[in-house]
Amino acid sequence: MKLIKNALISVYHKDNIEPLVKKLDEFGVKILSTGGTLAAIEQMGVKVQSVESLTNYPSILGGRVKTLHPSVFGGILKRRDLEQDNNDSEIYDMPEIDLVIVDLYPFEKTVAGNASEQEIIEKIDIGGIALIRAAAKNFKDVMVIPSAKYYRELIDILDEQNGKTTEEQRRKFALAAYAESSGYDTAIFNYFNRDAAFDGLRISANESKQLRYGENPHQKGAFFGRLEDVFDQLHGKAISYNNLVDIDSGIHLIAEFDQTAFAILKHTNACGLAQSNDVTDAWKKALAGDPVSAFGGVLITNAKVNKEVAEQINKIFFEVLVSPDFDSDAFELLKQKKNRILLKQNKNIKSNTVTRSMLNGYLIQDRDNVMVSAHELSVVTQKVPEEEQIKDLLFGMKAVKHTKSNGIVLAKDHQLIASGVGQTSRVDALKQAIEKAHRFGFDLKGAVMASDAFFPFADSVELAHKEGINAVIQPGGSRRDIDSINYCDENGMAMVFTGKRHFKH
């Protein structure tokens, strides 16, 4: 147990430090501080010594250099049980500092606020980071509080242990300090590396959420990041690992649509998808695409959920519903099932990269944010698709882009009729889609087909034609594209190339 006798406090945000300062004063702790923190503590009526009076050196360079001095760092880093350190401390008049409290400059918040580069640079904390690291290194003798979120915990420790700390507690907060400093440095690195000029990868997240389990019950799972930035959970049980994977896929899919749309996801693939001018109509069409797979699915829409659509949704069992908003009567109806997860989406995810663990390292790539528009399509057949067909073709391409490869989507009237997902051959994916369409009573005459990659042979367009499908959208790029083009021309089909492949693994 170590008694806290001297504390150094240097915090950016002063609004919630007062209870801790007064608790330290209550235990007779001598407080050192500087700058705005010093002024704030004086206004609290608590006695405080300036760092400048200890170092005999003023704050210089507009406040850039305040605590960077041997008298400060010697008092923090001194090993109390080492004779040489004790001798140096006496010779150079370095008082022991038993507690360091720091709240760093808000670098990430400044970057997020679209500040100028000079403002951002000035929010790179130098002294605060150095204090945190020094105190954490000497945790056997020194307690460090690296963030305002730990103030309450320290107050409780002081009350319960009469102003003392244990080595176990000091080690715990040393870990928190290095988590804070490494995350801070990562944010700075990523700011300077935003154009990927440096061949390196840094990932850091200080906030985590323990999940019930991972992909399966025997696997542990956790999410690192701030889910509340993306959505607010209004109701239901804890979100699972698999829920999050499907929610992520659903949010990226629904972001493709400007018009009202509804999607139903299972294992990251849309088993139902439709767009309409009316949210209830979009839901009914999405559900009709595969009412069997919809059981236990993740539902997402880009429209407010009203009571009319809520009454329809309420008829089936589902895990999650994501919407930008809920009418109060719709919410009251849907929350009657206690485990249903109801999420209000706050914003779309704007990540430009995708990162995943792979072997003994990481794979990183640009996110597939590309989607062609009507004027970018290349008509490669004699028959030109009609305006409504083009709309269906683009709808189908949006759907297949977010489908596991090899993927095929069959669409009609802005509705996902059926899809073939994750197959080892493209023609097998098409056969799977056709079988599902028949099983749920759809007439494929007049439907369109979308493929995430080119057709290596003409077998897929031949099979599609026999089912009444009369328009096809695909990236193109096969050495044997001409085989598919010739078949379409011979049989009155329209086909367009996008020039963009959308593999998804």
Assess whether 69 carries a catalytic annotation.
no
Amino acid letter, 476:
G
Residue 278 three-state SS: coil
Which position among 149, 267, 304, 500 bears the catalytic label?
267
Sequence-distant (≥ 6) Cβ neighbours of residue 91 within 8 angstroms? none
Which position among 13, 137, 284, 307 bears the catalytic label?
137
Determine the angle formed by the axes of helices 18-26 and 151-160, rounding to 10 degrees: 20
Let me know: does 232 contact 346? Beta carbons within 8 Å.
Answer: yes
- CA 154/CA 135 separation, integer angstroms: 15
Amino acid letter, 304:
K
CA distances from 279 to 239, 285, 303 (A): 25, 10, 7
Assess whether 137 carries a catalytic annotation.
yes
Let me know: does 371 contact 391? Beta carbons within 8 Å.
Answer: no
Beta strands 30-33 and 49-50 are parallel
Beta strand segments in 240-329, E = 261-266, 269-275, 297-301, 318-323
Q: What is the CA radius of gyration of the chain?
A: 31
- CA 321/CA 330 separation, integer angstroms: 12
Write down the residue that tokens 């004086």 correspond to: 42
DSSP string, 334-357: HTTSTT-EEEEE-------EEEEE
Let me know: does 303 contact 324? Beta carbons within 8 Å.
Answer: yes
Buried b (16+ CB within 10 A) or exposed e, 64-97: eebbebebbbbbbbbeeeeeebeeebeeeebbeb
Pull the structure tokens for residue 499.
């020039």
Sequence-distant (≥ 6) Cβ neighbours of residue 161 within 8 angstroms? 1
Amino acid letter, 263:
A
Which residues are annotated as catalytic?
A: 137, 267
